[in-house]
Amino acid sequence: MKVPSTDLPVKAYHEDSVFVPANLLREARRQRNLPEIAVPRVCLLDPDGDMVRFLAASGRGSRHAGWACYHTEMWVAETAGMQVGVVGCAVGASFAVLVAEQLIASGAELVISITSAGQLQPLAQPPYFVLIEAALRDEGTSLHYQPPATWSPMPKHLRSTLVAGLGNGEEPVIAARSWTTDAPYRETTAAIAAATELGAACVEMEAAALYAFAQSKGCDVVCLAHITNTMATTGDDFEKGEANGVHISLALAVQVAILVLAASSTG
């Protein structure tokens, strides 16, 4: 009996994909009779789903009539004079990138991800935010977009703009590195020690893949981690503050968007 090869197939990073998000969106619109409406320039990934639940329940958001994703809904909020499209519950690297691909194909110019994350090194008293400068690639999705490497960095032009401009919010925003894992319940003592020794300050599930996607496609993606827990090891974890952190996270997303869009218009 022939033993299957364990070698991974060639990724061919320079080649375009046969299956592209625009075609999937086209067919979803056809099947569901959806209008072709661009999404807002700024879109936010909300892995925990707190923002979309708030926008739906409070009436402060409206469902996007043309969002053609098979797996998610988009809610549109207007804050500080800016429309932000919010997609909830895209948890994990592969799902986050699937949605981000479709957002860019649907007209988004900036994708922001704000995810809850576990603290590995204390940078402040939780809750606080980390602007993820680079993410340790301990997941599989990034390998489909970029050759193997230890880190997946934020696009350089975004980092310089945001490190200089972010601050003065209700909670600290600290630039640092994260560890992206596919398996949150395999955060062993040895794995945590290794990630910390390499320089990761927190652990989350999406940033490495989102940054690899951004680098591959030449698009703008910013990942932030809301440090809300110590992996449930000390009690009183996962507290985001008022309204589960919805207001402060939306305000931070708008601050990021204003800085990025202003820089791109003058660049």
How many Å apart are CA 108 and CA 28, to the nearest integer?
18
Average pLDDT of 86-104?
A: 98
In a domain? residue 229: yes
Indicate the number of domains in the chain: 1
34-54 per-position pLDDT tens digit: 999 999 999 999 999 999 999
Are 130 and 117 in contact by the 8 Å Cβ rule? The answer is yes
Residue 6 in domain: no
Residue 89 identity (one-letter amino acid)? C
3-state secondary structure of 239: coil
User: What's the whole-number mean pLDDT along residues 143-154?
Assistant: 96
Cβ-in-10-Å burial (0-12, 13-18, 19+) of 122 comes to exposed
Query: Sorting pLDDT into bands at 50, 70 and 90, what band is 237?
Result: low
Tokens found for residue 33: 């009779």
Domain range for 39: 35-266
pLDDT of residue 265: 74
* Range scoring the smallest mean pLDDT among 67-76, 77-86, 140-149, 223-232: 223-232
The label of the residue with tokens 């993410």 reads 135
Q: Look at the pTM and tell me if it is higher than 0.85.
A: yes
Residue 2 included in any domain? no
- Whichever domain contains 150, its CATH number is 3.40.50.1580
